[in-house]
Amino acid sequence: MTVEFFDGFLSSTDVFVRAIGQTLLIVSVAMVVSGAVGLVLGVALYATRPGNLFANRLVFGVIGLLVNVIRPIPFVIFLLAVGPLQRLVVGTTLGTEAVTFAIAIAAGFAVARIVEQSLVGVDPGVVEAARAMGASRAAILFGVVVREGLGPLVLGYTFIFVGIVDMSAQAGLVGGGGLGDYAIQYGSQRYDWGVVYAALVAIVAIVVLGQFLGNRLARSVMRR
Amino acid sequence: MTGDALVELEGVTKRFQRGSGTAVTAVDDVTLSVRRGEVLAVIGYSGAGKSTLVRLVNALEQPTTGTVRVAGQDITRLGEKELRAARAGIGMIFQQFNLLSSRTVAGNVAYPLKVAGVGRAERDRRTAELLDFVGLLDRAHAHPEQLSGGQKQRVGIARALATSPPLLLADEATSALDPETTEEVLTLLRRVNTELGVTVMLITHEMEAVRRVADRVAVMEGGRVVELGDVYDVFTAPQTAAAQRFVRSATHDRPSPEALARLREHHAGRLVTVRVTDRPRLQQTVDAAFRDAGTGAELVFGGVGEIRERRAGSLTYELTGDDAAVARALTALRDQGVSVEEEE
């Protein structure tokens, strides 16, 4: 390995920096949107579960079915399939915005399951205690269950963060911008492995940093 | 039912539907009342239905049949809103404490006040007052996981009393604690009753807890209340086999089957056990009965102590002499109202 190995990379650092910025943008917007969508769906899944606070077979069944169908679809295929919806909402199927939209939806359903599981893990005894105090169902759901489940919830978000970074890179296949796009266009298509490895290092750094922050946040939330 | 009852259960049955279509009857036609100001213990082995019974009182469970009245209000017929108001008048503590791990000690105690819509200043004042009562004012800002089991239960008690309920339900409140902290929590429960005048319904499987804090005890078996009486009476004269087993678990003045076998090795005479109560001149009565009947009596086992501050115990004698003399002695004692039975 010589200096020449990174020649391609060194001559495209402006693109590299822009790609990092795009990846960070895609990932953070997708995190926020999917986090919100997933939180709503996940809380709804938990609350409408048979025998639970707002038990509702229909709502539970529909959301559960959506999550079960959409979540296992490989992202690359989902990205193609979501095209019509992208055109409707974003106006295009290409570019960073379209890709961010697709990621937010796909990740939202994954987050829903993670939120549900974090909440199911909350000690039912605590819920019973809150019921015995005369707390309303909404107060129990948000003031007790979500609050008690916050630690695992943050860990779950950290877990999904890695998935979103992964999706953002795959989005490079449809010209979505970011480090994946950069690695394909400037790297593999030109047989420039220096560029590919630079992208790889940047992605790994983002993931490690994100996980570190997530774990710290979870720890401070759980106070352990 | 009597007017001084705070809780009245009438013909209450609770059946749970199991997956395979079979039903389990957890509580079976129970009629029971908790008097205002008393500590009523409900004792039973696990699966006897006592935890379900206590959950019927604050409507965490709805009865299959029967009515449950708390302070004269039929709580099986309340809408969600009235039920929530009624629950504010019923405190509850749990075996596993069930504290909110995301809130501090003070936050836990303040939570029911928050739920009840009490303002911040009053919440803070009441929280401090309660933490002082349970002796944990200095731990107000600690988190539950930093506390010992006994401290957690004391927070549970403070939290349950936050809204000044006239009734406290204690579901196996000491079962997860070691003997020393059990003692501490039982003492606190007794103080809750005597100092604050709170009526307590204590669910337990430990007869020692009953002996320490309860005024009356209901013995449950197979979903039914098989015996109900003053703690002293049940301890000194348990009527049912279940009650006798529980009494034996907390007292050591009756010989166990093993101890009885050892006694028989050394004592050829007949072994009879006299229940010691607080009736006056019991010893003189017993001595006279043995003497008049012409039997020799040797004290071989027993003990005398206190139950609820009254004398209670059991003395086992070896009686020598012919069968007719022994029979005369037993008849004479029973005629005078002394409880005596021959060991099998």
* Cα distance between residue A148 and residue B100, in whole Å: 7
The C-alpha of A132 sits at a distance from chain B's nearest C-alpha, in angstroms, of: 6
Using CA coordinates, name the residue in chain A closest to B165. A133
What secondary structure does DSSP assign to chain A, as a single string?
A: --GGGGHHHHTTHHHHHHHHHHHHHHHHHHHHHHHHHHHHHHHHHHHHSTTSTT--HHHHHHHHHHHHHHTTS-HHHHHHHTHHHHHHHTS-SSHHHHHHHHHHHHHHHHHHHHHHHHHHTS-HHHHHHHHHTT--HHHIIIIIIIHHTHHHHHHHHHHHHHHHHHHHHHGGGGT--HHHHHIIIIIGGGT-HHHHHHHHHHHHHHHHHHHHHHHHHHHHHHT-
CB contact under 8 A, B60 and A128: yes
In this structure, which amino acid lies at residue A148?
E
Total domains, chain B: 2
- Which of A24-38, A107-121, B185-199, B244-258 has the lowest average pLDDT? B244-258
Q: Are B176 and B288 contained in the same domain?
A: no
| Per-residue confidence band for B285, with pLDDT thresholds at 50, 70 and 90 | very high
CATH number at residue B287: 3.30.70.260
What secondary structure does DSSP assign to B156-212, as a single string?
A: HHHHHTTT--SEEEEESTTTTS-HHHHHHHHHHHHHHHHHH--EEEEEES-HHHHHH
CB contact under 8 A, A133 and B85: no
pLDDT score recorded for residue A2: 54
As given in the structure block, the two tokens for residue A186 are 């400037």
| Per-residue confidence band for B2, with pLDDT thresholds at 50, 70 and 90 | very low
* Cα distance between residue B166 and residue A67, in whole Å: 47
CB contact under 8 A, A144 and B100: yes
Q: Are B63 and B15 contained in the same domain?
A: yes
* Cα distance between residue A69 and residue A62, in whole Å: 11
The C-alpha of A96 sits at a distance from chain B's nearest C-alpha, in angstroms, of: 39
Structural domain containing residue B292: 253-342
Q: Are B178 and B43 contained in the same domain?
A: yes
Average pLDDT of the segment spanning A91-95: 81
| Per-residue confidence band for A97, with pLDDT thresholds at 50, 70 and 90 | confident
| Per-residue confidence band for A3, with pLDDT thresholds at 50, 70 and 90 | low
For residue A218, list chain B residues with Cβ-Cβ distance below 8 A: none
Using CA coordinates, name the residue in chain A closest to B161. A133
For residue B103, list chain A residues with Cβ-Cβ distance below 8 A: 147
Higher pLDDT, A173 or A202: A202
CB contact under 8 A, B145 and A223: yes
- Which of A80-94, B216-230, B293-307 has the lowest average pLDDT? A80-94
* Cα distance between residue B113 and residue B317, in whole Å: 59
Does residue B105 have a pLDDT over 90?
yes
CATH number at residue B27: 3.40.50.300
What does the mean pLDDT of chain A come to? 88
Q: Directed axis angle between helix A150-170 and helix A95-120, to 10°? A: 150
Say which of B88, B94, B100 has its CB closest to residue A134: B88
User: What are the residues of chain A with a beta carbon less than 8 Å away from any beta carbon of chain B?
Assistant: 123, 125-126, 128-137, 139, 143-144, 147-148, 150, 223-224
Q: Measure the N-to-C terminal CA separation of chain B; round to a whole number of Å.
A: 41
Best of A122, A133, A136 to disrupt the B interface (most B CBs within 10 Å) is: A133
pLDDT score recorded for residue A80: 87
CB contact under 8 A, A134 and B92: no
CB contact under 8 A, B115 and A144: no
Q: Are B323 and B216 contained in the same domain?
A: no
CB contact under 8 A, A125 and B83: no
Most confident region among A158-162, A197-201, B224-228 by mean pLDDT: B224-228
Q: Where are the alpha helices (DSSP H) in chain B?
A: 50-57, 80-87, 105-115, 120-133, 149-160, 179-196, 207-213, 231-236, 241-250, 257-266, 282-293, 323-335
CB atoms within 10 A of CB B9: 23
Does residue B14 have a pLDDT over 60?
yes
Q: Are B189 and B283 contained in the same domain?
A: no
For residue A145, list chain B residues with Cβ-Cβ distance below 8 A: none
Does residue B202 have a pLDDT over 80?
yes
- Which of A50-59, B52-61, B250-259 has the lowest average pLDDT? B250-259
pTM: 0.86
As given in the structure block, the two tokens for residue A161 are 């963060």
For residue B116, list chain A residues with Cβ-Cβ distance below 8 A: 134
pLDDT score recorded for residue A66: 93
Q: Are B107 and B40 contained in the same domain?
A: yes
Q: Which residues contact A154 (CB under 8 A, 6 or more apart)?
A: A214, A217, A218, A221
The C-alpha of A138 sits at a distance from chain B's nearest C-alpha, in angstroms, of: 11
pLDDT score recorded for residue A223: 65
Give the end of a domain, one of B250, B276, B306: B250
Does residue B308 have a pLDDT over 70?
yes
CB contact under 8 A, B100 and A148: yes
CB contact under 8 A, B87 and A132: yes
| Per-residue confidence band for B91, with pLDDT thresholds at 50, 70 and 90 | very high
Q: Are B308 and B328 contained in the same domain?
A: yes
* Cα distance between residue A185 and residue A195, in whole Å: 10
What residues form DSSP beta bridges with B56?
Answer: none
User: What are the residues of chain B with a beta carbon less than 8 Å away from any beta carbon of chain A?
Assistant: 58, 60, 80, 83-88, 90, 92, 94, 96, 98-103, 111-112, 115-116, 143, 145, 159, 163, 169
For residue A51, list chain B residues with Cβ-Cβ distance below 8 A: none
Percent of chain B clearing pLDDT 70 (strictly above): 99
Nearest CA to B142 out of B181, B98, B107 is that of: B107
Q: Are B171 and B235 contained in the same domain?
A: yes
The owner of tokens 């013909």 is B11
For residue B86, list chain A residues with Cβ-Cβ distance below 8 A: 134
Indicate if ipTM > 0.90: no
Average pLDDT of the segment spanning B177-206: 94
CB contact under 8 A, A123 and B98: yes
Give the end of a domain, one of B250, B279, B302: B250
As given in the structure block, the two tokens for residue B324 are 């007719």
pLDDT score recorded for residue B163: 94
* Cα distance between residue A46 and residue A31, in whole Å: 21
pLDDT score recorded for residue A16: 83
pLDDT score recorded for residue A36: 95
For residue A123, list chain B residues with Cβ-Cβ distance below 8 A: 96, 98
Q: Are B270 and B178 contained in the same domain?
A: no
Q: Are B233 and B260 contained in the same domain?
A: no
What residues form DSSP beta bridges with B43?
Answer: B204, B219
Q: Are B162 and B207 contained in the same domain?
A: yes
pLDDT score recorded for residue B1: 41
The C-alpha of A151 sits at a distance from chain B's nearest C-alpha, in angstroms, of: 9
How many CB pairs lie under 8 A apart between chains A and B? 66
For residue B92, list chain A residues with Cβ-Cβ distance below 8 A: 129, 132-133
Nearest CA to B164 out of B122, B196, B195 is that of: B196
pLDDT score recorded for residue A178: 83
Average pLDDT of the segment spanning B271-276: 93
Largest CA distance in chain A: 72
Give the end of a domain, one of B201, B216, B250: B250
What does the mean pLDDT of chain B come to? 93
- Which of A95-99, B88-92, B124-128 has the lowest average pLDDT? A95-99
CB contact under 8 A, B112 and A133: yes
Say which of B60, B85, B102 has its CB closest to residue A147: B102
Question: What is the per-residue pLDDT across B43-52, written as a single tens digit (0 to 9) for each?
Answer: 999 888 999 9
Q: Are B186 and B299 contained in the same domain?
A: no
Strands B65-70 and B224-230, by their bridges, are: unpaired
User: Cβ(B215)–Cβ(B278) under 8 Å?
Assistant: no
